[in-house]
Amino acid sequence: MKIRQVSIRNFRNLRKVDISPMKTTVIIGENNAGKSNLFYALRLLLDPQAERLRLDLSEDDINDNARAEGETYFSVTVEFGDLQKHQDVEACFKERIDMDGDETFITIKGKYEPDDNGIYIWKSLVLSPQGRSNNPIPISRRMSRAIPLYFLDAVRDAARDTRATGRGLLSRLLDNANYTDVQDDVQEYLRAANNALNKGREISSLARGLTNELTSLVPGGQSDIVIAVADEDVSHLARNFRLNIRRRPEFPQYDISRHGTGLQDLTLIAMFRHAVASEEKGKPILAIEEPGAHLHPHAQRRLFKDLAEIDSPVLLTTHSPAIVKFADPSSLILLRSEARNETTAYQLDSKEIGDDDLKDLAQLMRNGRAEMFFARSIIIIEGQSELIVLPHFAKILGCDLDRDGISLVQANGNNYAFILRACQKNQFSIPAIVTYDADALNYNNTLLKEAKRANLIDEATYQSCSKNTQSVFSDRKHVLDNIGWIGAINCFEEEVCRAGYLDIVIQAIEDADPEHQSHSRALDKYLHKNSLNRDEEGISSFISNTKRNNLKIPVARAVANAVRNVGQVPYCYARAIRQAIMVSMDGIPVDEYFERRACEAGYLNVILEMIKLENADAAFEQFLNTEKVKKETIGVVRFLTESQTGKGLRNKVKNAIADAVEVTGCEEYAKSIRQSDPSYISHG
């Protein structure tokens, strides 16, 4: 059996969500994106404990925006397919079976809405097949038992989840377990255990004392108190069942609640796997939040593989790249909040994403870069050097890549068109900023080939830059500029040397082999042979065009360590970082927090430059000294919002930020800043 489609309308922040689950579906997204709400919606329809959950429903569970537009309901619709492979399930639904080629399926819908008297009620119905006039019918208990959903939440309670009574999974497993062949023996052993306990001197004394006190209170004096190990009543026997675990045969056994949370998780999942393997009357579904949250990485990977092998639909949520890295890319569902109280679900469209792309994405995930699917935006970088240094560049710009959900994705040999396709708006809709080394434009058309493969340029544009003409470099660069890709001057090393790190890079070359100084001698020899100097061009040429690529990492580390002191960021990387943050924030709202957000988006130095251009340096320094604040974000924000001089600059600062935002390539965000109501200035 499989889940063909899930459609949720107006439930909490899930206003309009449609997903097509796989056999094992991995749901990701930031906190409060709606992952738990999605599971709750499914539970209302399919959980054996759904009746209890429905008691807590109210109008507040209807999406706010939907209610504002007069929609007074929410609904959950699920299609179950491949029923032809499960005749026992198919038989439960009889004339409600629909056909899609050779596949049989059913559609179940739950809806919460007011009845004729205005009282909100929940209805669970099996819908009629398309083209038939018969009415939907209520879901019977037999139908519910055929497709139960078992849920393990993120805050798991092993004692609760393994109760022998109620509607929990253990209770259901015990319902199917016949122990009449041993119940007489068990009753005899319990009676013997109780008798043995009461032979104890202090226990028997306690029991007699309690009996005497009770006898004086009960009419007739017939009561008798016995301290027992367990109830001897056969009809109550199952109530006392519990799960005990021993880690090894020679270890004592303990109740599951006394073991670590990780082992408890594995035990609960083992119970579900057994339920699936032994179920004869239906096909259970597992929904689990944060599996492996309490397990070390190796156990997490093993757990995911075990879940993937279950012969039943499994849906899980996770924040762990260690779990996601082994998932099928097409099984990922990304939930993202994109409007007030509304979440959008993104999933790869197999009609748009081919098998080769899926293989490349899977390999990317296996190589430890699954984090990109959690990102609000990504920066595609050339190599390891940028991976080392860019977080440091971001920091001195006033940005925090982790806070803003930005991932750096290293390209492998400029092969990243598959990433761009997966990130497009009709797929995962993750904004991707591409950086590249411009020196590659001199030698081949590889970068434009990737742009064409990503459907960013057409065949004619690609072909126009294929021939090595005198203007081919500028032609290729012009094309990439037009699609927003950001090129470094030749390469990373030349870019940082031009930005003030030349001496740092030279020192790193010399320090790489301090004892023999072979790198230093090789550098001088190379420069002399090629008529180059110890400048940006000569140093970058030495590192890039010789067999000394092993210097790239030491150089990058040296630059990273020097960023705080040098305080400069190459323009191309500053632009990429600012653009990534801008799209991750969806622009900068112009309100009383505008300057703070602008500083955190990397525009602190723009504001400082504006203060300088307006000859407000002296007033700014005096304010900092008087208020004892640093020349950082907090100092700038307080100056602009608390001092008379600063308040007079706020509108000019706003326009300067808009200009800087436009330079990064975010014209629409710049326009929205310029057109904003300047009344925010009065809030200071």
Taking CA atoms, 585 is separated from 343, 429, 574, in Å, by 16, 14, 16
Check: CB of residue 638 under 8 Å from CB of residue 620.
no
Percent of the chain residues past pLDDT 90, beyond the cut: 60
In terms of residues, how long is the chain? 684
The predicted structure's pLDDT at residue 306: 82
The predicted structure's pLDDT at residue 546: 66
End-to-end CA gap in the chain: 60
What is the per-residue pLDDT across 302-352, written as a single tens digit (0 to 9) for each? 778 888 888 889 999 998 888 898 899 999 999 999 878 899 999 999 888
- pLDDT over 80 (residue 156): no
What is the per-residue pLDDT across 53-79, written as a single tens digit (0 to 9) for each? 999 999 999 999 999 999 999 999 999
- pLDDT over 70 (residue 155): no
Tokens representing 107 are: 């559609």
What is the per-residue pLDDT across 201-251, written as a single tens digit (0 to 9) for each? 888 898 888 888 777 776 765 667 788 887 777 667 777 777 777 777 777
The predicted structure's pLDDT at residue 684: 46
For the entire predicted model, the pTM comes to 0.84
Instruction: State mean pLDDT over 272-287.
Output: 78
The predicted structure's pLDDT at residue 130: 80
- Residue among 651, 619, 593 at smallest CA distance from 627: 619
Return contacts of 645-652, CB within 8 angstroms, 24+ apart: 645/616, 645/619, 645/620, 646/616, 646/619, 646/620, 646/684, 647/681, 647/684, 649/610, 649/611, 649/614, 649/616, 650/595, 650/680, 650/681, 650/684, 651/678, 651/681, 652/610, 652/614
Cα–Cα distance for residue pair 343/337, rounded to 1 Å: 4
**What angle is formed at CA 522 by the lines to CA 519 and CA 526, rounded to 5 degrees?**
135
Tokens representing 102 are: 């050779």
The predicted structure's pLDDT at residue 619: 96
Taking CA atoms, 513 is separated from 312, 351, 519, in Å, by 59, 54, 6
Q: Within a 13 Å sphere around the CA of 633, how many CA atoms are in the beta-carbon half?
A: 17
Taking CA atoms, 251 is separated from 244, 245, 246, in Å, by 12, 9, 6
Q: Report the DSSP pairing between strands 149-152 and 285-289.
A: parallel
What is the per-residue pLDDT across 175-199, written as a single tens digit (0 to 9) for each? 777 778 888 888 888 889 888 988 8
pLDDT tier for residue 501 given thresholds of 50, 70 and 90: very high
- pLDDT over 90 (residue 594): yes
Mean pLDDT: which of 86-90, 327-331, 464-468 is highest?
327-331
Range list of H helices, 309-353: 321-324
b/e string for 639-672 if b means 16 or more Cβ within 10 A?
Answer: bbbebebbeebbeebbebbbebbbbbbbeebbeb
In one-letter notation, the amino acid at residue 186 is V
Instruction: State mean pLDDT over 30-41.
Output: 94
The predicted structure's pLDDT at residue 235: 67
pLDDT tier for residue 656 given thresholds of 50, 70 and 90: very high
Give the three-state DSSP class for 443.
coil
Average the pLDDT over each of 161-170, 437-446, 567-576, 618-627 and give the range with the smallest value.
161-170
Cα–Cα distance for residue pair 100/78, rounded to 1 Å: 15
DSSP-assigned beta bridge partners for residue 5: 79
Instruction: State mean pLDDT over 594-601.
Output: 93
Cα–Cα distance for residue pair 343/321, rounded to 1 Å: 22
**What angle is formed at CA 566 by the lines to CA 563 and CA 572, rounded to 5 degrees?**
65
Residues with Cβ within 8 Å of residue 506, at least 6 apart in sequence: 523, 534, 539
What is the per-residue pLDDT across 382-431, written as a single tens digit (0 to 9) for each? 889 999 999 999 999 989 999 999 999 998 777 899 999 999 999 999 99
Higher-scoring residue by pLDDT: 340, 98: 98
DSSP conformational letter for 412: B
The predicted structure's pLDDT at residue 275: 73
Listed in order, strand segments (DSSP E) in 82-164 are: 98-100, 103-114, 120-126, 137-138, 149-152
The predicted structure's pLDDT at residue 545: 76
| 3-state secondary structure string across 598-660 | HHHHHHHHHHHHHHHHCCCHHHHHHHHHHHCCCCCHHHHHHHHHHCHHHHHHHHHHHHHHHHH
- Residue among 69, 64, 109, 102 at smallest CA distance from 83: 102
Cα–Cα distance for residue pair 143/89, rounded to 1 Å: 8
Percent of the chain residues past pLDDT 70, beyond the cut: 92
Instruction: State mean pLDDT over 144-151.
Output: 89
